[in-house]
Structure 1
Amino acid sequence: MINEADITSMISAGLAAANELTIVADIAARNALAPTRAMNVFVRNATADTTVASGGAYYLYDLANTAWIKTSEAESLDVVLTWNALQGKPTSTAAQIDAAVGNSHSHANKTQLDKISETDGNLYYNGSLPKTAWASTNW
């Protein structure tokens, strides 16, 4: 007869097994395992997996489908991307984009341009109406 303590023990054992991590040297060692339950495995050198260029990878064993499922790769921890490696990037070069950002709102006479404003439809310079024939923006 199963009691509450037996059920608690079975649940605890199942959870402990699900959280257990096995570490192996390579894909051959991973494949040599004979899982009888779902497993978490870290393969130190997973390069025998064609989807892993270098380093290790984490796998889960799917008992129902008797298959290993890769969940992550250690090589992606140290990825350094270059502009040329980006997909869907703008056609402008990184230097062109940097130049455009640097030149945005850049004018040789910026100090003077910053003094221009409008109030109630009138053009102002340095807080005063200019002393010219065009004293409004209706020109």
Structure 2
Amino acid sequence: MASLSIYRETALPGTLVANSIYFVAPAARPDYVEIYVTGNDASTVKRVIGEQDVQALINASGGGGGSANMLEIVDDMAARDALSPATNVLVLVLDASADETVTSGAATYAYRANTSTWKKISEAESMDVVLTWANLQDKPTSSVAEIDDAASKRHSHANKTQLDKIDEDANGNMTYGGVLPVTGWGSSNW
């Protein structure tokens, strides 16, 4: 079984020792530590990914804020159509009124690179929409006043207290206040 050596360095040495762990705190970045591990042969070196590696992965995915923006902003539809994105991208078009589905204002589009297609995912004109009953589609035929009246009467009964006492027993017989109703007969002598 090989022994394991551990080193604390400010730079990775030019010649490494087999079966070792190197903790490297670069002088320019003393608050960070890079970790390198050698195998049975000193030329076999593995390292733990660092901040620059993570940033490179983010940049490669299009989310690094470098040359690949997460959101492009253009003035109009012609400017959007002039783009030649190589990857999936979101584009905010400040004046999307050239899109027949946009009456006025801005809209956001997603570009799908594998099919070279644009899909509208939102539009600004709906941000300040004020709905009126007259402009609703597929609404009930009742008027607003009729619906409000029906809603206000949904549990309004002059005799609600008495109606709430009506129930049934385990045999399916109607009960009133938890007992079988009493008939109006005062006697049953015949």
Q: TM-score, normalised by structure 1?
A: 0.68
1:103 counterpart residue number:
153
What percent of counterpart residues are identical?
Answer: 43
TM-superposition CA deviations, 1:11-53 (whole Å, max 9, x none): 3223216761111111111122222322211011111011111
Is residue 23 from structure 1 mapped to residue 73 from structure 2 by the alignment?
yes
Aligned length: 121
1:12 counterpart residue number:
58
Which residue among 128, 150, 167 is the counterpart of 1:78? 128
1:92 counterpart residue number:
142
Gaps of 5+ in 2: 1-45, 166-175
- Structure of greater Rg: 2
1:61 counterpart residue number:
111
TM-superposition CA deviations, 1:53-89 (whole Å, max 9, x none): 1211111222222222211112222222222333332
CA distance in 2, matches of 1:32, 1:38: 15
1:122 counterpart residue number:
181
| Residues 63/99 of structure 1: CA separation in 2 closer, same or farther (3 Å cut) | same
Deviation of 1:121 after TM superposition, in Å, equals: 2.1
Q: Which has the higher helix share?
A: 1
What amino acid sits opposite 1:60 in the alignment? A
Is residue 52 from structure 1 mapped to residue 102 from structure 2 by the alignment?
yes
Aligned Cα RMSD in Å?
Answer: 3.1
Gaps of 5+ in 1: 124-131
CA distance in 2, matches of 1:9, 1:114: 69
Q: TM-score, normalised by structure 2?
A: 0.52
What amino acid sits opposite 1:51 in the alignment? T
Deviation of 1:105 after TM superposition, in Å, equals: 4.0
CA distance in 2, matches of 1:78, 1:87: 19
The answer to which structure, 1 or 2, has the higher relative contact order (CA under 8 A, 6+ apart) is: 1
Is residue 43 from structure 1 mapped to residue 93 from structure 2 by the alignment?
yes
CA distance in 1, matches of 2:97, 2:90: 18
CA distance in 1, matches of 2:153, 2:54: 68
CA distance in 1, matches of 2:70, 2:161: 69
Q: Secondary structure of 2:93's match?
A: strand
Q: Secondary structure of 2:126's match?
A: helix
| Residues 86/134 of structure 1: CA separation in 2 closer, same or farther (3 Å cut) | farther
| Residues 19/114 of structure 1: CA separation in 2 closer, same or farther (3 Å cut) | same
CA distance in 1, matches of 2:155, 2:109: 52
What amino acid sits opposite 2:57 in the alignment? I
